[in-house]
Structures are given as structure tokens and as C-alpha cells.
Structure 1
Amino acid sequence: MTSLADAVSPPDDKRPRRLFRFSLLTMVLLTTIIGLVITVVLQQAKLAPMEAENKRMRNELGIFKIEDPEKIHVIRVPTEDNAPRKYRVYLPPGRKYVRCYRGYDIPEQEIPEQTNIEVLEPGNYLFTVKAERFVNKETGEPEPIAIFRIRSESTDQEPFGNSSATVSISERGVDWIVNEETGNMAYSWQEPGRDLELHDATEPLVLYRARANKVKVLGRRADGHVNSWSSEMIPGETEGFMMWVEPEQRRAQP
């Protein structure tokens, strides 16, 4: 016999199911949120290449933003005909630094002992190195003397605080700066690049390492002038000039 309840209520598997319903306000809010998310994603996709291009342009101008305040930042600043060489540097807080330079006996990779130092506070600097061949004013002829003019400017000060020095280096039996036979530059150097570099603040930063090269004449014209030559590095320490920055107390540790 079928009960009255069974007659009134359909079986469980045949009962109509209620659909989940959105109010008009909920649908409007969801549509708005989805639209905002899509807009943000599209904007980020458009901004990414623009930011990369802005960074590239800043690098070309020798300008950078501080990416890690605990790291040394350095970039080479473009100059006309690459002379003089200029380097923009950020030195992070927490210690003092020294700018060092050295003529003669420049190693291939190592850092020499501190010499000719200038104490630097943390901050932003512009360092300049200009290499020249000394020219006799009376004869107008170049002499076997290399001239390096260096300059340090603190760009955090107004007007800029700066210091400069001129270093003269005589040749001692090797080709240096300009080879007498070829009339060309005959040295190689190490320096930061045109892209921003980040370095450990506890380690030395080489700004300029110039080392004399050995020149070999390969051919001459009928009048005796050199028309082909080769250049190769001299192993070990050799003539040159070097400027670098390092923590003031780096060598004080036993």
C-alpha cells in the first residue's frame, strides 16, 4: 500500500534540483573584477618591454637605479671617442672605502697592495681616467712617458666634492701607450662594462687596469713604415696603470 507521503512526494532521485543563482549585483561585481584583472595583466605585459628599454637607455647614458643597497653598483659612462674613461659608482653604507692607484708592475689578475690611497665615504661617485702620451713642447715629439690623469667626484655633494692627480710613468724597455714603430696604442685594459654591474661590497672593484702589450712587426712598406703588426699580452707583472676601490679595512685582517 502506498502511503499518503509517498503519493505527495516524488522519489529522491526524481526531485527537481535548485540551480545556484547570481543576483544582478553579484554578476556586475564579478564582471568588473575580471575586467580589472585582465587590464592589469595587459598593462604589465606592455610595461615589461618598456621598462627593459628604459633600463637599456639608462645604461647607455651611464645612469642607474639602486637595485640592491648592500651591493656596489658600477657602470661605464659613455664619452666621446671613449676618452677619457668614466665610471659611475655607488658605494653602500656600513664601511669606508679607499680609492687606490698604482703605476708600474701591474699584475694580470691580482690586486696589488694598497698604494696612493684616498679615503671615500659611502655614496655616489664619478671616477675618471685619461691616458696620454707625453709630448715635448719644444720638439712636438712624443716621449717615452705615459701620463694618467685621474679624478674622483662625489656626486652627492653640491657643488661636487672632487680630487684629482696626475701620474707620470716612464717606459722601461717595453712598448707602452703608443708603440714607436706602429704609432698605435699598444696596451690592453680591464674595466666595467656599459651594463650595470653589482659587486660584493667586501671585495675590491677594479675600475681601470691597463697593461703594456708586446708588439711584433709583421710587415713594412717599401719606405720602411709598418703596415702590419700584432700585439700580445706580456705575462706576469708589467708596465701599466691601475685604479681600483676597496674596503678601507680589507687588508687589516690577519
Structure 2
Amino acid sequence: MEEDTVPPTRRPRFSLLTLVLVTTIVALAVAVFLQYQELGPLREENRRLRYEVGELDVEDASQVHVVSVKKAGGYHWQWRIHLPKGHDWWIHLSRHAPKQGLPEKASSLARLGTGGEVTLIAEVLPAENGVRYLYLRSDGINSPFLEVEDTDWLNGRTMIGTSITGEEKQIASDVDEPLALLRLESDKRGKPSDYDEGLLIWLSNSR
């Protein structure tokens, strides 16, 4: 009786060129991964520094993008804003600042243009007659728009809370959604229930 012959097991063979290629690919993959790990924090730091100086990072030009530019001083606020083109953009101002939402009607408004990147500055300054106003400054705008001389918050008769859009990071918003840039609310303690004095600045593509 003849015994079955077991064929010898063939071990896989790799050429030296294949081994070099595999080693190179693995080394490249590791290098890319390590570089990504190193660049990630640097990208975040670069983005943070860009925000601090008011540089916008616009990934979607169809949205409104806003970043606040920090300035020393009191009642002084500044924003860098990307406005999608093809719309009439308006800044609305009100001496009423409800806790939620926006007033039905603005106390004053200013046309901001039809799109692009703009810088908007809002600050409280005395006019020539000594009365303090909220001034707006931007391309084609440099005027007092809202008298605030007799307000409780400006004269220290009440505590205030302030919310500034884009202060911590860049904000993106839908083109048809009104966006509050500044909400300055007076403390309502000891005041009537309908008391909503403050300062509200918002951006919209409609009057």
C-alpha cells in the first residue's frame, strides 16, 4: 500500500522591493498621523488668535459670520461681519431689550450695505451739545443714531447684564434670521413687570 505524499508547505515569499514599499507606506502613515496630531492644536491656536484681531474664517459664504473685536474702554463695541451678497442689510437699534426675542419695532436703523465684509463700531459718545448718543461707524456710516443720555444703565441707576455676539468665538447665522449683536439688559428688580430698558443692536436683511 502506497503512502499518501503530503506536498511541502510553501511559505509566502516577498521580494525585497515589496518589503521596502510596505515599510515606506507604514512609515508615511505614521508620519502623517503624528503631524496631524501636532498641527491640530496649532490650528486651534491660530484660529483663536485670528478671532482676537477680528479676522473672519468664512467657510460658507451664504451665511452671516460675526466675530467681536475686543477693545479697551467702556461703552465701545466692535464687530467684523461677513454679509452674504444680494441682500439689503440693516442695523436696528432699540432702547428696549426684552429678555427674549427682539422688539417689534426699532428705535432707529441704519443701512449697512448689500454684502461683503464690513467692520461695525458702536460706542457711546457725547454730541456737540453734550448729550450722549450711541454712535455707529462703518462704511458710509458715522453718525449719532440713538440718544441714551437719560437711560438708567448709563447713569448707574441700575445693574446691567451684557451679551455680545462673537465675543468667545465666531458665530455663523442663517441669512434670513435676525441676529442680535449686542443685548444690554437693565436689572428689573424693583421695576414694573413691563420694564425692559436697555440697549439692543441687531442685524437683519429687512427693515
What's the TM-score, normalizing by structure 1? 0.68
State the match for 1:222 in structure 2.
none
For the structure 1 residues 77 and 235, does the alpha-carbon distance in structure 2 shift closer, same or farther, using more than 3 Å as the test? farther
Partner of 2:102: 111
- Is this contact kept in 2: 1:188–1:210, CA < 8 A? yes
Preserved contact between residue 87 and residue 128 of structure 1 (Cα < 8 Å): yes
SS state at 1:116 partner: strand
Q: Residue 152 of structure 2: which of 149, 169, 175 is its match?
A: 175
Contact 1:71 1:91 in 2 (8 A): yes
CA shift in 2, pair 1:232/1:15, >3 Å: farther
Q: Does 1:124 align with 2:117?
A: yes
Return the offset for 1:65.
0.9
Aligned partner of 1:51 among 38, 43, 53: 43
Is 1:16–2:8 an aligned residue pair? yes
Confirm whether residue 188 of structure 1 aligns to residue 165 of structure 2.
no
CA contact (8 A) 1:62 1:88 kept: yes
Q: Choose which of 160, 163, 175 in structure 2 pairs with 1:201.
A: 175
| 1:148 lines up with 2:140 in the alignment | no
Letter aligned with residue 156 of structure 2: N
Give distance in 2, aligned partners of 1:33 and 1:233.
71
SS at match of 1:148: strand
- Which residue in the other structure is 1:163 paired with? 141
**Number of matched pairs:** 203
Q: 1:237 to 1:121 in 2, by over 3 A?
A: farther
**Where do 4+ consecutive residues of structure 1 move more than 6 Å?**
133-137, 231-234
- Gap change, CA 1:136 and 1:199, over 3 Å in 2: same
| Alignment map for 1:35-114 (pairs within 5 Å) | 35-81=27-73, 83-102=75-94, 104-112=95-103, 113-114=105-106
* Equivalent position amino acid for 2:148 in 1: I
Distance 1:105 1:57, change over 3 A: closer
User: Secondary structure of 2:37's partner?
Assistant: helix
C-alpha distance 59-234 of structure 1, shift in aligned 2 (>3 A):
farther
Distance in 2, matches of 1:242 and 1:48, equals 37
Q: TM-score, normalised by structure 2?
A: 0.81
Residue aligned with 1:45, SS: helix
Q: Which has the larger radius of gyration?
A: 1
Q: 1:33 pairs with 25, 31, 47, which one?
A: 25
Q: Give unmatched runs, 5+ long, in structure 1.
A: 3-9, 138-144, 153-160, 215-230
The RMSD of aligned alpha carbons is 2.9
Deviation per residue, 1:212-235 (Å, 9 max, x gap): 446xxxxxxxxxxxxxxxx78875
Inter-partner Cα distance in structure 2 for 1:163 and 1:48: 40
Identity level (%): 27
| CA shift digits 1:47-95 (9 cap, x unpaired) | 0111111112222222231132222111110112355210111112353
Q: Which runs of 5+ in 2 are unaligned?
A: none
The answer to whether the 8 A contact 1:212-1:233 is kept is no
Cα distance in 2 for residues equivalent to 1:62 and 1:53 = 14
SS of residue paired to 2:109: coil
